[in-house]
Amino acid sequence: MDPYEDAFHHEALFYAGEDEFLAGTLPFVEGAIEREEQVLIALGEKNTDVLKGALGGDREGVTFTPMETLGQNPARIIPAWQDFVAAHAARGKPVRGIGEPIWPGRTDDEVVECKHHESLLNYAFDGGPAWWLLCPYDANGLDDDVLAGAHETHPGLRTPREATASNAYVDPHTTFVPFDGPLRPAPAGSEERSFSTPQELHELRDLVTARATTAGLSRARAYDLELSVNELATNSLRHGGGRGTLTIWRDPDALVCEVRDAGTISWPLVGRERPLPERLGGRGVWIVNQLCDLVQIRGLPEGNVVRVRMGL
């Protein structure tokens, strides 16, 4: 029986070196080709070249997309898988995917959000069409705590030699993912501005634009950040107790904006599902995820925190 015959099957593949990477991924892809199943592969540039070379170039039914682009903000990955599954698996034939959201060099903040993403995959596709997703983890290049986290977010574990169930898997239905986890404190000297009226949103936008310009962001990226903060602040006025606080600071490689309010976000997939055309509201966090390089959402006893980063 195929592991994805009746449901979504989510496995972590642990590999050490190019040979083990191919031993784990090449038979997976070739099996899909033999069964005429569609495969979407989202890897870094190096592993893409390795796997494409082993496949002998482009193959029918196999699509590659660069994970550095797709997964720069990990919150954008689930919608891509949802689009892929909706286009193919919903027709009655299972599909397969390979996704490697965590690679050596990811920042600590990005790794936390990637772990949230990996957990939420199990939530997003629970009860949906059957398909099989394999997530490679570089055992030589990633820290031990990252590898241990993969045991918590993947029901299935795999090496080139064996496949087992994870005895450390944590069901996202029983957790507060993605609204928990570490969040670095804002640095000393960060600029803070409270707001409680629609008129003050104009001042917030001017502030963000000015700091973005000073930081060296292009006009387009400065506008994207301004729009993102405006969406978050508007949500605070409408759904977060009618007031909020914007904190803004510059990291060595990014401009960071954080909006806090007294609201509560309860939908685990907020901002990770493509809004339906007929739905008028609920697009704010989706827009922010599409525009910013990283989005971190936390639920604290005192309310929501949404932090966005725009790389310089």
Give CA–CA dist 111/101, Å, rounded.
9
Residue 181 domain flag: no
Give CA–CA dist 193/203, Å, rounded.
9
4-16 confidence digits (pLDDT tens)? 667 899 999 999 9
- Confidence band of 127 (pLDDT split at 50, 70, 90): confident
- Confidence band of 261 (pLDDT split at 50, 70, 90): very high
Task: Give the chain's domain count.
Answer: 2
* Contact between 237 and 244 (Cβ < 8 Å): yes
- pLDDT tops 60 at residue 61: yes
Task: Tell me what pLDDT residue 266 has.
Answer: 82
- Confidence band of 3 (pLDDT split at 50, 70, 90): low
**Per-residue tokens: 230:** 């405006």
- pLDDT tops 60 at residue 1: no
Task: Tell me what pLDDT residue 282 has.
Answer: 63
- pLDDT tops 80 at residue 124: yes
Same-domain status, 110 and 59: yes
Residue 138 domain flag: yes
Return the percentage of the chain with pLDDT > 70, whole number: 96
Looking at residue 221, which CATH number applies to its domain? 3.30.565.10
pTM for the model stands at 0.93
Same-domain status, 280 and 140: no
Give CA–CA dist 118/132, Å, rounded.
14
Same-domain status, 220 and 265: yes
Give CA–CA dist 132/35, Å, rounded.
13
**Sequence-ordered alpha helix ranges (H) in 216-304:** 219-239, 284-291
Instruction: Judge residue 292's burial from the number of C-beta atoms within 10 Å of its C-beta, 0-12 exposed, 13-18 middle, 19 or more buried.
Output: buried
Same-domain status, 116 and 235: no
Residue 3 domain flag: no
Q: pLDDT averaged over the chain? A: 92
Return the percentage of the chain with pLDDT > 90, whole number: 81
- Confidence band of 272 (pLDDT split at 50, 70, 90): very high
- pLDDT tops 90 at residue 265: no
15-39 confidence digits (pLDDT tens)? 999 999 999 999 999 999 999 999 9
> What domain range is 28 assigned to?
8-174
Same-domain status, 299 and 211: yes
For the chain, how far is it from start to end, CA to CA, in angstroms?
Answer: 49
User: Would you list the DSSP string of 180-201?
Assistant: -S--PPPPTT-EEEEE-SHHHH
Question: What number is the average pLDDT over the span 136-158?
Answer: 97
Residue 60 domain flag: yes
184-241 confidence digits (pLDDT tens)? 999 999 999 999 999 999 999 999 999 999 999 999 999 999 999 999 999 999 988 9
